[in-house]
Amino acid sequence: MDTPNIVVIGGGSVGSFIAHDLSLRGLRVTLVEKGNILGGTSARFHGMLHSGARYAVNDVNEARKVMEDNRVISDIAPHCIEDTGGIFVGLDNDDLDYASKFTAGCNQAGIDVKDIELDKLREREPFITKDAKIALGVPDKVINSFRLVTSLMLTAKAEGARILLSSEAIGFETEGKHVTGVKVRDSSGVSTLKSDLVINASGPWIGKVMSEHLGINSIDMIMSAGTMAVMERRFTKSIVNRLRLPSNGDIIVPYFTESIIGTTAFIIGDPDNFEIDKDDVDFLVEEGSKMIPAIKNSRVKRHYAGVRALISSSSDGNGDRNISRDFKIFDHETADGVSGIATVGGGKLSTSRIMAKKVGDFACGKFGIRDESKTDSIKLTWPELKEDNIEEITKKTGVSSQILKELISETSAKTYSDLYSPTMDLVYSRMLFD
């Protein structure tokens, strides 16, 4: 057989890691993304590369998996990470016995957890409430998803993958019960991409893609939206979590120069049609200010919501908090008798690489290819912007040399939080189109 031709639907963190994984294994890959870079949840998340500590009491196996990939992603994509560290704080009225379960879970999952003395905590994080009674440090980090996904796409492109942005999968071509291609609409019209296998990695849209275009309704998923409030400034060096079972409004992430408080969780029916309840924003500010009182007197700059596709049918009435954050590959050949297509859903941005590795193993298994994933060791591409390549990048992107010079002065800033620049996003998305 010729080298298999795989079409990946969805250019979020999962689809982009899949394109990277499969092209490293030598397969022919085309990724179609209906929006621009980051059209879905990977742009509307909380900004954390989890250490797994959040899951250490409820699900040690999940916590271990997350920690392992925290190390791998930090190694292959250092330019996407700010190593802030995370602090779990227990307050006056919290169940402080939870701390020992938390420490035991972290130890079991291989997560480095350290007691932080309260005077050291106040020295490092002067804005944290005086009600803090206990603090534990873990290796949570901040991750820039735009950089991650752009780097994955650039790297996959260099490995031979085709990345088609603004290209929506609007249907499938079939021969009997076998999918042979994807109908794609872009600015020039509708065309068909031939495929030996399609991977549906469209995040919260996985169910919609299968039901609307193939009449398959077997994906057992719940869509849970979460609101986040963005505060006008950064209050802490570290990510601050409440030391208790995962709940709403219990994490504050210092993201570039701002702080993101999140999240809430509410079940929705359609990722394209739901509303954010303004009370959620007030709730987040209220909860956030229990950990950092200064939040109460600060401005909410904006708010947004992302949608999780949770793979489970069981909820116990506690919103979505007790539904697993694990992921699943749906083989539609065995589940629905339709071959040539599979779906992957669930998980977290922090576990996207592992998800892609499993999808890669699954795809290679279909074609009898014995090839291991290499994504744990290949460093991701991120073009350096330097004085001596300004001319070349101006030619490639059409971005003026003046703007590029300003960007260079920004990138020489000392702290990562100074680096954010929407113009930088523009430069790299243009490079990708090139």
Ligand X SMILES: Cc1cc2nc3c(=O)[nH]c(=O)nc-3n(C[C@H](O)[C@H](O)[C@H](O)COP(=O)(O)OP(=O)(O)OC[C@H]3O[C@@H](n4cnc5c(N)ncnc54)[C@H](O)[C@@H]3O)c2cc1C
From 26-34, 274-282, 363-371, 379-387, give the range in contact with ligand X by CB under 6 A.
Answer: 26-34
Contact between 320 and ligand X by CB under 6 A: the answer reads no
Contact between 347 and ligand X by CB under 6 A: the answer reads yes
Contact between 209 and ligand X by CB under 6 A: the answer reads yes
From 42-50, 112-120, 289-297, 380-388, give the range in contact with ligand X by CB under 6 A.
Answer: 42-50
CA 331, CA 312: separation in Å to the nearest integer?
16
Contact between 350 and ligand X by CB under 6 A: the answer reads yes
Least distance (Å) from ligand X to the CB of residue 9? 5
What are the phi and psi torsion angles at 338 (to 5°)?
-115, 115
Contact between 86 and ligand X by CB under 6 A: the answer reads no
The answer, yes or no, to whether the previous bond of 263 is cis (omega within 30 of 0) is: yes
Report yes or no: 240 and 196 within 8 Å, Cβ to Cβ.
Answer: no
Contact between 203 and ligand X by CB under 6 A: the answer reads yes
350/397 with CB nearer ligand X: 350
Contact between 295 and ligand X by CB under 6 A: the answer reads no
Contact between 45 and ligand X by CB under 6 A: the answer reads yes
Contact between 41 and ligand X by CB under 6 A: the answer reads yes
Long-range contacts of 163-167 (CB under 8 A, 24+ apart): 163/11, 163/19, 163/30, 163/31, 163/33, 163/432, 164/30, 164/31, 164/32, 164/33, 165/11, 165/33, 165/35, 165/36, 165/37, 165/432, 165/433, 166/33, 166/34, 166/35, 166/36, 167/32, 167/33, 167/34
From 39-47, 126-134, 378-386, 402-410, give the range in contact with ligand X by CB under 6 A.
Answer: 39-47
The single residue among 7, 8, 14, 77 that binds ligand X, judged by CB under 6 A, is 14
41/404 with CB nearer ligand X: 41
Contact between 80 and ligand X by CB under 6 A: the answer reads no
From 29-37, 113-121, 238-246, 291-299, give the range in contact with ligand X by CB under 6 A.
Answer: 29-37
From 8-16, 96-104, 333-341, 394-402, give the range in contact with ligand X by CB under 6 A.
Answer: 8-16
Contact between 48 and ligand X by CB under 6 A: the answer reads yes
At 198 the three-state DSSP class reads strand
CA distances from 341 to 49, 210, 248, 427 (A): 30, 10, 36, 34
Residue 228: which of 150, 308, 151 has the closest Cα?
A: 308
Residue 46's CB: how many other CB atoms inside 10 A? 21
Residues 149-188 that bind ligand X (CB under 6 A): 168-169
Contact between 13 and ligand X by CB under 6 A: the answer reads yes
Least distance (Å) from ligand X to the CB of residue 65? 12
Report yes or no: 172 and 200 within 8 Å, Cβ to Cβ.
Answer: no
CA 413, CA 258: separation in Å to the nearest integer?
17
Contact between 306 and ligand X by CB under 6 A: the answer reads yes
Contact between 200 and ligand X by CB under 6 A: the answer reads no
Q: What tokens were used for 19?
A: 């394109």
From 5-13, 81-89, 230-238, 374-382, give the range in contact with ligand X by CB under 6 A.
Answer: 5-13
Contacts of 244 (CB under 8 A, 6+ apart): 90, 94, 95, 98, 250
Residues 244-263 that bind ligand X (CB under 6 A): 262-263
- β partners of residue 421: none
Contact between 30 and ligand X by CB under 6 A: the answer reads no
**Residues found near ligand X in the complex (CB under 6 A):** 9-15, 32-35, 39-42, 45-48, 50, 168-169, 201-205, 209, 226, 262-263, 306-308, 347-350
